[in-house]
Amino acid sequence: MQLVIDEDDFVHYIDSKTKSGRLNNLFETIGDVSFVSGKDIQVEKVAVKIDNQIYQKEIVKIKDDAKPISKFKDEQIINNPKEMFIGNTEYKTGNNSIKEIIDSDKTIFYEPTIGNAQARALDNNAFYNNGKKGSGADTRVEMDFNYTALYKVYGYTDKDGLINIASVTPYASYQVYAHEALGHGAHNQKGENTGSKEFYQAYRDQNKEIHFQGELTGFQVSIENLTPEKIFNNIISDLKNQKITAIDKKNNIVTINPKILNELNNKNSEYYKYLYKEIEEKFREAKQNNNTIINLNLPFSTRKLEEKNTVNLENEILKDQGKKNFLRGVY
C-alpha cells in the first residue's frame, strides 16, 4: 500500500503494484483527505479502514487514478499550478516529504478519528536502538482533519537564551498533517524515531513568565524570611524527598522524573539556571508589590525528543505556505 496525492491534494492509498488505469472504487471525502469505503477490505488493490458511522459525507466515484476527484459544490480547485494559493507556489518541503513517504517500502495508513491526531508505529523497528537506526516500520495515523488545537508562535530568543512566545494560535490542518504523517510517519519509515530520548526546554510566555516542558504549574511558596537561594534549595530538597507530587492524566499520584531531578542538581544545566532565574524574578516582583507568596512553574516530567524533532519540519511547511511569521516556537 502507498500514499498517493492527486492534483487536488487529496490523499489516496493505493497498492504499490497498481498501475494507471480505471479504479472504479467508492471514496468518501473527509475534509482534504479521501479514504476508500469499506472495512479493511481490498477491492482492486485499494483498501483503507473507514467508519461510515463517524462521518456521513457524500460518496463520489473515482473513474481513473490519473484524474482528480469530481468537484464538490463550493469546492475551489486550482487548475493552474502557477496560480498562487496561500502565498507560495513551490511547496518544496511538503512535496519532497510527500515523495519520500510515497517512495518508501513502508506504509502510512490513516484512520479517521474525532478530536485527536497521533501517529503510532506498528513495530519497534521504527525506533533508534542503542544509537542505531531501526530498519523502519509501517505507521497508523489517527487523524481528525478538523482537529482544533493551539500552538505557541515563536517571537524571538532573548539574551538569556530563552525562546519568547509571541502568541498562541490554532493549528492549520496541513500543519497537523505535516507533524503526524510527514514528521512521525516518515521517521518511522526510516527507523529514525527518537521516542526513547528526552529533551528539556524552558521558554517565556507572552507575559515573560518562565515555563518548562512537562512542568508542574501554580506551585505556591512563601517567601517570608527567605532568600531566592534558600527557596531554591528547599524546593530541590522537597523534590528529592518526594514531598512534592502531581496527578497525571490517569489520576495517579506521581513524583518528579529522576532525570529532571538530575538536571536540577547540576549547576551547569539549563534547568538549574532557569528555575533559579524564575525564583529570582518572581521573588523580586513579590517584594516590590508587598506580596508574601509566589507561584512557580517547576520542571517535573520529560518530553520525547521525537516531538521536538517534528517542529523543524512543521516550520519549513509553514514557510512554504507563506506563514514565516507563525512558526512554532516550542513543542
- C-alpha 47/C-alpha 76 separation (Å) is 27
Residue 143 pLDDT grade (very low, low, confident, very high; cuts 50, 70, 90) = confident
Q: Name the pTM for this structure.
A: 0.74
What angle (nearest 5°) sits at the alpha carbon of residue 299, between those of residues 294 and 303?
150
- C-alpha 112/C-alpha 127 separation (Å) is 25
* Residue extents of the structural domains in the chain: 2-200+304-329, 202-301
Asked if pLDDT for residue 39 goes beyond 60, the answer is no
Backbone angles phi, psi at 141, to 5 degrees: -100, 115
Summarize pLDDT for 61-72 with one digit per residue, the tens: 332 333 333 333
Residue 90 pLDDT grade (very low, low, confident, very high; cuts 50, 70, 90) = low
- pLDDT of 33: 38
- Residues near 260 by Cβ (< 8 Å), separated by ≥ 6? 200, 214, 271, 299, 300, 301, 302
Say if residues 331 and 151 touch (Cβ distance below 8 Å).
Answer: no
Summarize pLDDT for 205-230 with one digit per residue, the tens: 999 999 999 999 999 999 999 999 99
Query: How many other C-beta atoms can be found within 10 angstroms of the C-beta atom of residue 238?
Result: 14
Over residues 115-119, the mean pLDDT reads: 86
Start-to-end C-alpha separation, the chain: 31
- C-alpha 43/C-alpha 53 separation (Å) is 21
